Structures are given as C-alpha cells and as structure tokens.
Amino acid sequence: MTDGAVTDEATPAGGVTAARGFRAAGVTAGLKESGNPDLALVVNDGPEFTAAAVFTSNRVVGAPVMWSRQAVKDGVARAVVLNSGGANVCTGPGGFQDAHATAEKVASELGIGAIDVLVGSTGLIGVRLAADKLLAGIPVAVGALTADAAGAQAAATAIMTTDTVAKTAVRTVETPAGTFTVGGMAKGAGMLAPALATMLCVVTTDAVVPADEADAALRAATRVTFDRVDSDGAMSTSDTVVLMASGASGVAPDLDVLTEAVTAVCADLARQLVADAEGASHDIAITVTNATTEDAALAVARAVSRSNLVKAAIFGNDPNWGRILSQVGTVPEEIAPYDPTELDVSVNGVMVCKAGGAYEPREKVDMAASRDVTITVDLHAGAAEVTLWTNDLTHDYVHENSAYSS
C-alpha cells in the first residue's frame, strides 16, 4: 500500500461536513407526526462534484432509488436530499413524480440541475408522502445549510426513524501530498440485512477522486461493512449509500488509500447500526474461520446470523452451541465444504464445541457481563475468514415492530 495512514487522533468533528467543501442541514418539514426533524440536505460546494452510489438489491424499490440510480450514472452529484417520515415505496407514478419534484425543488433553490440531485427516503412503505410539506421544507433546509459540525449533526438526526441515536463517523488520512478527510452519516435500526443493511448513508470526502475510483472504493467498502451487517434478515426497499468527493483538499490519494479510509468510515457506521438495532441487548460478532473461500465463510456466518433460535439463546445469555452447529449444517456442501466431525465452536473465547461434540462446559461462558458477544466457527477446511455482525432477538424487537409507525 502506498503511504497513507488512517487515523482517529485529532479527528475533526462534523460527520458529513468534516470534509472540506460540504454543507449540511436538518430541519422539520412536518412529515412526522412526532414533530421531530425529518428533512436533511447535504451539498457539495466543489470544486469537484464526483459521486458514486450503491443501492438495495431488493426487486421492490422506492421512487427515490429509481431516481437516484439514473441521476448518479454520470458520476456527478452536487446534493443529496433525504427525508424520514415516509419511504415513498409502492406509491406508483405519483410517488416518482414526488421524488422528481423534490430534486427539482432542491435544484431550483441551489441553482443547479435536478439531474445532479440525489434523493433518499425512509419510513413506512406504501404511503404517499405529504409532498406539499416536503417541498415547503426544502427552502428552509437550504437556508439552514452550514459547514460546521452542527449542520452535520442536524442532518444525521433528521434521517432517523426507529434509531435512538444519530450516527456519524470521520477519518483523517495523512499522505505525503497532504491530508484528506472522509466523513459520513447513516440511519438504520431495523430491516438490517444485505444487500447493504437498511439504511440511508452519505459519505463525503475532500479528496480528488475520479468517478470510476469513487465507485470502486465505495463498492469495496460496502462489501465488507454494510453487506456484513445482518440484524434481522429483512432486506429493505430503500437502501442508499452515496459517496461524494469535493476535491477541496487538493489531495489525490491512490485508490487503495482512499478505499481504506472509506472502508473505515463505513465500518464505524455499520457497527453503530448494529449497536442501535431495534430492541437488541447484545451485539454479536460471528467469525467463520478456515473456510475454503470467503463466500463459503460468509454463507456459514449468514446462516448462523439468520437463526431466531440462536438469537433468542443469546438474548437469554445461553451459549447454545447446538443451535449454532445446526445452522452451520444448513449450508449446502457445494457452497461450503467441510467435515461436520471437525467443526469447532467458541463463544466469548470458550471452546464449547470441539470436533463436532461437547468440549468446555458452557457455564464457563459469561454473556451477561458485556453487550458484546463473539461466536467463532472453525470449519477446518481452508484458510478464508469472514466476520459478520448481528444482534439478539428480544421482546422489545417484537413490540417495536408490531407497533411501528413513521
């Protein structure tokens, strides 16, 4: 790797405005019955306007995803407007018109083209947005734009739905040519499953980045971060992760240096999503080691993370390795070859299963002392390793999702 050190020391505050060339705002447009902030805007003031984005792989998508997929194809975006209080999904032609009108209104207020405005929405599916309130809120958001940390925090707060805290991250990178910064914000607390995990996320950098490299860095980062968060197995219709580069630092990092920094920010935000997962009392890191391939390791980790029995056991502080091993066995041999009689399982560092059978007493595992739980499955089949993050299944998750509103 070329010289370029990602550091947390003396990291500037500000989330999406930590990188030079960006302003942000978060305001209340009245989309939420609660009266909480519900409209965010992030603007790239340049001098460059590079952008890349990745979206949900769900076949049912919202109008904002449809709009933004097309708008970002040229590798350019000057603003992202995001709302909570309604997902604008399954709302027909009228919903797409609302997304288009939102981009047009932002463009008009900023004096730019609508094709350079990306749109993101989150909230209830199947309910038409109150477009009049949304459009009326845009001039207010434009008037509130600021490059300081308060604007970034306001924007991160405005995109929250069932989130209990706003989520931001920043990394600075020292290179021989100078310093550049990557900042970001995300929302997400439920429907966290690939592709991406349910989220709206904006990442900004003041590095000088060609569009193809921005796309490559973002896809490499999401593959090992957001795509490895699997809270509840429910894939969203609205996942959107946007990377914008202003070039304001004048630093043009090598692709691997940029990718490392973007990945660090995405990893930080992904962990925050899991830590705020709806009703969760444990954050669970599932590591599969010694698999034949990375895909094999990921398939096994995914199988364990999707088990309600495993997740309920963790909620009860029970290191039930039988449930874990049972899930490992659901992965077809052609996807993940291994010998079932050689499988080892450790929970919080205690090997409770060795060579496919009981080993250390489960009473040695302390799961009540910390929110963090580690599950390690050793396949003894190769050299590949993957870690996936999930959480436990609690009474609060059931309650929150049986009474969900925007």
Q: What is the DSSP string of 344-380?
A: EEEETTEEEEETTEE-S-GGG---SS-SEEEEEEE--
Confidence of residue 347 (pLDDT cuts 50, 70, 90): very high
85 token code pair: 């209080």
**pLDDT higher than 50, residue 11:** no
- What is the overall mean pLDDT for the chain? 90
Tally of CB atoms within 10 A around 8: 11
197-212 pLDDT tens trace: 457 999 999 999 999 9
Spatial separation of the C-alpha atoms in residues 343 and 330, rounded to whole Å: 14
Spatial separation of the C-alpha atoms in residues 259 and 270, rounded to whole Å: 16
Active site residues: 198
135 token code pair: 């459009």
**pLDDT higher than 60, residue 364:** yes
Q: How much is the average pLDDT of 331-351?
A: 97
Q: What is the pLDDT of residue 370?
A: 86
**pLDDT higher than 80, residue 271:** yes
Confidence of residue 274 (pLDDT cuts 50, 70, 90): confident
Confidence of residue 9 (pLDDT cuts 50, 70, 90): very low
Look up the pTM and report it. 0.85
Spatial separation of the C-alpha atoms in residues 246 and 203, rounded to whole Å: 11
Helix (H) or strand (E) segment spanning residue 244: strand 240-245
Beta strands in 249-358 (DSSP E): 283-291, 344-347, 350-354, 357-358
Give whole-number Cα distances, 164 to 280, 287, 327, in Å: 12, 27, 31
